[in-house]
Amino acid sequence: MERVSADLESVSLVRRALEEDHASQDATSFAVVPEGVQARGRIVVRQTGVLAGTSLAELAFSLCDDSIEQKWLAEDGDSVSEDEEIFSCLGPARALLAAERTALNLLQQLSGVATLTARLVSRVKGEIQVLDTRKTVPGLRDAQKAAVLAGGGVNQRRDLEDELLLKENHFALSSLNYEETVAQAVSSAGGKTVGVEAQSEEQALMALKQGAAYILLDNYSTTELPLAVTNIRSAFPGAILEASGGFGEHNIAELCGSGVDRVSIGATTHSVSSLDLSFYLEVL
């Protein structure tokens, strides 16, 4: 399938990963693989999941040798099954070996993110949006957030500059009271979205009164949420309410019927099992 040109950030990311692996100094391949040997490679899925990270994996091969021919048989967001071949390539054997681990590391990790996100989304049956957080692997934030989208999730703010989100530590450090702190943030936001963490219905109502765009209902149990949502919406019918804290595959379905619009789950990016993939090579 046709690919778009890689952005500079992606190139930099993959180049750093290859340099970390000393891909251009593969001592084993130099010792036993004759220079000039051509090989065919293929990536095969070992467990059912959702694919993500294909563009970065492709970059790993092309940065090692731009003569490598590559063909994807699946794309980001596709469900893939055990024993399914998703990628094939043709090129210098040494270059394929040099790129292999970097390509697989990225593809497996990001497919793990997409797979977990898809499982979470399936458990709420479209009733609630599943959001990621900033709890990402350093250097992989954009890639992981793209993988969340591939799995059917929604991106929360990308970074600290993106929007304002007042949380417990901000209130602890502010010289103002809760309501005044929210008011100051809203007046200073310059048009940016302002989200506010609330530990009680009273705090949620104060924040909404001062212009908060959404409320993060932190560490509410699934039995407490329905009444809290009802009470908050009786005063602010259009309030966007987000559950957060302690939700995952084991209990996310319990949010259905609670009335919240969305749930943010850090585990989508920080507690992921990589999707099992294998790379096979054969000499031409």
Cα(123)–Cα(121) distance, rounded to whole angstroms?
Answer: 5
- Catalytic residue selected from 75, 142, 163, 218: 218
The count of residues in the chain is: 284
Q: Tell me whether residue 76 is one of the annotated catalytic residues.
A: no
Q: Tell me whether residue 3 is one of the annotated catalytic residues.
A: no
Q: Tell me whether residue 71 is one of the annotated catalytic residues.
A: no
- Catalytic residue selected from 135, 141, 157, 158: 135
| Residue 34 burial by Cβ neighbours in a 10 Å radius (0-12, 13-18, 19+) | exposed
> Is 32 strand, coil or helix?
helix
Q: Tell me whether residue 101 is one of the annotated catalytic residues.
A: yes
DSSP state letter for 154: B
| Residue 168 burial by Cβ neighbours in a 10 Å radius (0-12, 13-18, 19+) | exposed
- Catalytic residue selected from 3, 16, 71, 167: 167
E strands, the chain, in order: 38-45, 49-50, 69-72, 79-80, 85-92, 129-131, 164-166, 194-198, 214-218, 240-244, 262-264, 277-283
> 270 is written with which tokens?
């920080």
Is residue 109 within 8 Å of residue 274, measured between CB atoms?
Answer: yes
Q: Tell me whether residue 100 is one of the annotated catalytic residues.
A: no
Active site members: 101, 135, 167, 197, 218
